[in-house]
């Protein structure tokens, strides 16, 4: 299935841009550039990337921007969300596919369906409109905080929590807390279970300014991790 052909959509497998070893890495720039060039993707063209849930498309968007495609965009949604809209055009096996069942996940492991949120007027909506500042404030309000002195005392005593550094690689390489595990924010939900299989283990998430860590910590809470700060 795909978007309507009038949108000019084309398919790319995730393996075209990532070496899926223990730590996924982008393939060499020359190889990626040749791949996109052969597909007719040019730097002066506007490119919109989408996938089943929005996770893999984010990787492609980052690759395109790093390679010098200034007009690359990541669709703020997903194919799972698009295909549930009868007013949006598609092509392929739409009728046979149907709507994703509750709990069904896509190829990257993220859910294909989301529970509806009941708005104040009684109408159901997938998302309750909020500003970015409100989302961050709500996340911080639902997550316990730990001060630097308490964390240091715990680490010095040898009974500290699992520390997750969710900054970007260049930030990590400039310095990080000893013993921290590096998982970039964009991979947190996909890789955290490999690093922290115990849902009851104490976890501290940190970033540079506190925004990514608040949103990431809330996401871990939603995944069932019970002791996240």
Q: Do 106 and 143 belong together in one domain? A: no
3-state per-residue secondary structure call for the chain:
CEECHHHCCCCCCHHHCEECCCCCEECCHHHHHHHHHHCCCCCCCCEEECCCCCHHHHHHHHHHHHCCCCCEEECCCCHHHHHCCCCCCEECCHHHHCCCCCCCECCCCCECCCCCEECCCCCEECCCCCCHHHHHHHHHHHCCCCCHHHHHHHHHHCCCCEEEECCCHHHHHCCCCCCCEECCHHHHHHHHHHHCCCCCCCEEEECCCCHHHHHHHHHHHHCCCCCEC
pLDDT tens track for 115-166: 444 444 444 444 456 677 777 788 888 888 888 888 888 888 888 899 999 9
Number of domains in the chain: 2
Q: Do 189 and 137 belong together in one domain? A: yes
Residue 179 forms part of a structural domain = yes
Q: Do 161 and 78 belong together in one domain? A: no
pLDDT of residue 164: 96
Q: What is the mean pLDDT of the chain?
A: 75
pLDDT tens track for 98-117: 455 555 555 555 555 544 44
Look at residues 85, 118, 151 and tell me which one is the last residue of a structural domain. Answer: 118
**Residue 71, domain extent:** 8-118
Q: Do 62 and 160 belong together in one domain? A: no
pLDDT tens track for 162-203: 999 999 988 999 999 999 999 998 889 889 999 999 999 999
The CATH number linked to 161 is: 3.40.250.10
Q: Do 151 and 53 belong together in one domain? A: no
Model-wide pTM > 0.85:
no
Q: Do 88 and 175 belong together in one domain? A: no
Residue 123 forms part of a structural domain = no
């Amino acid at each position: 299935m795909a978007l309507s052909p009038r949108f000019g959509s084309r398919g790319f497998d995730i393996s075209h841009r990532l070496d899926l070893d223990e730590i996924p890495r982008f393939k060499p720039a020359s190889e990626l550039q040749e791949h996109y060039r052969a597909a007719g993707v040019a730097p002066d063209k506007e490119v919109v990337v989408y996938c089943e849930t929005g996770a893999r498309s984010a990787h492609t968007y980052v690759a395109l921007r790093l390679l010098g495609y200034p007009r690359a965009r990541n669709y703020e949604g997903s194919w799972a969300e698009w295909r549930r809209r009868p007013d949006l055009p598609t092509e392929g096996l739409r009728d046979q596919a149907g709507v994703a069942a509750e709990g069904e996940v896509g190829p990257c492991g993220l859910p294909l369906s989301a529970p509806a949120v009941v708005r104040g007027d009684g109408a159901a909506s997938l998302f309750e409109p909020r500003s970015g500042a409100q989302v961050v404030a709500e996340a911080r309000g639902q997550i316990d905080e730990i001060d630097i002195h308490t964390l240091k005392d715990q680490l010095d005593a040898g009974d500290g929590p699992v520390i997750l550094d969710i900054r970007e690689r260049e930030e990590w390489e400039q310095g990080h807390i000893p013993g921290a595990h590096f998982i970039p924010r964009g991979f947190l939900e996909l890789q955290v279970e490999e690093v922290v299989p115990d849902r009851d283990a104490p976890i501290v998430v940190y970033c540079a300014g506190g925004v990514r860590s608040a949103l990431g910590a809330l996401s871990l809470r939603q995944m069932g991790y019970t002791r996240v700060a």
